[in-house]
Amino acid sequence: MTRHERMLGALTGQPVDRTPVWFMRQAGRYLPEYMEVRSRVSFLDLCHDPDLAVLVTLQPLDRFDLDAAIIFSDILTIPEAMGQEVQFIKGRGPVLPKPIRSRDDVRALKQPDVADALPVVPESLRRFIKARPDTPILGFAGAPWTLFCYMVEGSGSKNWENAKKMLWTDPEASQELLNRLADMVGDYLQTQVDAGALAVQMFDTWAGALSQEDFKRWALPAAQRALSRVKGAPRLYFTKDSSPFLHLLKSTGADAVGLDWRVDIPMAREILGDMPIQGNLDPIALYAPPEEVARRTRAILKQAGPVGHVFNLGHGVTPNTPIEGVHAMVEAVRSYRHDEA
């Protein structure tokens, strides 16, 4: 089987020769060669230059025999394209100095044509495919609610007080912003499919800030609206807090769901039925001795079974992760045979 067949098979619940593997933030700070590039160019420059984006997207493929890459970018390119300034400040994460706090702020945002306003990732995808035709490439975007969080809060947050206050105090303007984001996100993911992405993943990292009621009222319909605009490739939905919402994830309209590292896979299978899953090794498990990483990797493979599973971490790889832990994980997936387990 080619990598393309393996990834597409796993994402659509078809039999595959072995479980495919890639991992979130695989092009990132745990790689010395990435840090070398970052010593010369800023994070935003990386996001804005297709040559640099492809360069770092390729880096983990030269170290590990992975079944897919994910194009290097950041979810906050959408707020930028809508006219909101985004800064990346070392040690503080993203800062949006003029947060959206009112209906007028929402109205002042642009709603550009995505193909014009966000050309970098589609172009990077095309260049990646030329450079590495044997490896499938995934596209991605932030989910509308998660983008709403950053745009209204103005930065990362523990409690997202301002984002939630806007929901409570101006539900109409909040809905307007979520609708506009959903359309941007959906169209953006479609441009990535059109540029050759094998699949696309929508990151709803902060859905887990919401109660059941608010997830159902705000994050879920916006996710549905975004994903419904995307045709022609499997659509993955990921949130960092999957467990509270497992029974609702099918109704996102996604073809497959990424599970965080706390999720009990048998319980997820019971609730999700034959919906393909992705995940879910604890990223910090990669700090364990290699044989322990391999044991944990095999335990997840066994629980998930041979069909409808893409192996991944349960969240992004962290900057201090030892390379040998990543090697142990990738090799354990590649050498695992379900029929011998």
Question: Residue 75: which residues within 8 A CB-CB, separation 6 or more?
Answer: 140, 141, 142, 146, 147, 150, 203
Residue 246 C-beta: closest distance to a copy of itself, Å: 8
Phi first, then psi: what are they for 309, rounded to 5°?
A: -140, 125
Contact call for residue 33 and a copy of itself (CB under 8 A): no
Q: State yes or no: residue 283 binds a copy of itself (CB under 8 A).
A: yes
Binding span for a copy of itself by CB under 8 A among 138-146, 160-168, 177-185, 222-230: 160-168
Least distance (Å) between residue 301 CB and a copy of itself: 14
Least distance between a copy of itself and beta carbon 169 (Å): 7
| Residue numbers 197-216 binding a copy of itself by CB under 8 A | 208, 210-215
Selected binder of a copy of itself within 247, 251, 335, 337 (CB under 8 A): 247
| 104 in contact with a copy of itself (CB under 8 A) | no
Per-residue x/- mask for a copy of itself, residues 47 to 76, rule CB under 8 A? ------------------------------
Between 45 and 291, name the residue whose CB sits nearer to a copy of itself. 291
Three-state SS annotation for the chain: CCHHHHHHHHHCCCCCCCCCECCCCCCCCCCHHHHHHHCCCCHHHHHHCHHHHHHHHHHHHHHCCCCCEECCCCCCHHHHHCCCCCEEECCCEEECCCCCCCHHHHHHCCCCCHHHHCCHHHHHHHHHHHHCCCCCEEEEEECHHHHHHHHHHCECCCCCHHHHHHHHHCHHHHHHHHHHHHHHHHHHHHHHHHCCCCEEEEECHHHHHCCHHHHHHHHHHHHHHHHCCCCCCCEEEECCCCHHHHHHHHHHCCCEEECCCCCCHHHHHHHHCCCCEEEEECHHHHHCCHHHHHHHHHHHHHHHCCCCEEEEECCCCCCCCCHHHHHHHHHHHHHCCHHHC
Is there binding between residue 253 and a copy of itself (CB under 8 A)? no
User: Could you tell me which of 127, 142, 154 has the C-alpha nearest to residue 56?
Assistant: 127
Binding residues among 215-234 for a copy of itself as defined by CB under 8 A: 215
Q: Does 168 bind a copy of itself (CB under 8 A)?
A: yes
Give me the least distance between CB of 217 and a copy of itself, in Å please: 12
Pick from 183, 194, 292, 331: which binds a copy of itself (CB under 8 A)? Answer: 292
Residues with catalytic roles: 25, 29, 38, 74, 150
Based on its alpha-carbon atoms, the radius of gyration of the chain, rounded to whole angstroms, reads 19
Rounded Cα–Cα distance for residues 47 and 320 (Å): 22
CA distance 7 to 285: 24
Check residue 288 for interaction with a copy of itself (CB under 8 A). Answer: yes
Which range in 44-52, 120-128, 192-200, 280-288 contacts a copy of itself by CB under 8 A?
A: 280-288
| 42, 102, 169, 335: residue in contact with a copy of itself (rule CB under 8 A) | 169
For the bound state, the minimum distance from the C-beta of residue 153 to a copy of itself, rounded and expressed in Å, comes to 12
* Dihedral pair phi/psi, residue 251, rounded to 5°: -80, 0
Mark residues 260-279: x for contact with a copy of itself by CB under 8 A, - for none: -xxxxx-x------------
Question: In the window 294-323, what residues touch a copy of itself (CB under 8 A)?
Answer: 296, 299, 314, 318, 320
Candidate residues 119, 244, 253, 305; the one interacting with a copy of itself per rule CB under 8 A: 244
**Could you tell me the smallest distance in angstroms from the CB atom of residue 137 to a copy of itself?**
28
Which residues of this chain interact with a copy of itself, rule CB under 8 A?
A: 159-161, 164-165, 168-169, 208, 210-215, 241, 243-245, 247, 261-265, 267, 280, 282-285, 287-289, 292, 296, 299, 314, 318, 320
